[in-house]
Amino acid sequence: MTLAELERWSLERAWVAASALYYQVPVITNNGRDYSMVDGFVLI
């Protein structure tokens, strides 16, 4: 994975986290570790 791909990947996850927190909805994911640093985040 190139640096540009890694940066875009992180930005996409940040948008998912921000949207879920704003709309107060859980996120369905296969890798909860990606969002483990976000407080108040609900994963399914």
pLDDT in tens, 1-44: 576 766 766 888 888 988 999 999 999 989 888 777 778 888 88
State the pLDDT at residue 25: 95
6-32 CB burial, b ≥16 within 10 A, e <16: eeeeeeebeeebeebeeeeeebeeeee
Q: Which pLDDT score, from 0 to 100, does residue 5 have? A: 66
pTM: 0.71
Q: How is the chain split among helix, strand and coil, in percent rounded to 5?
A: 55, 5, 40
- The pLDDT, as a whole number, for residue 42 is 87
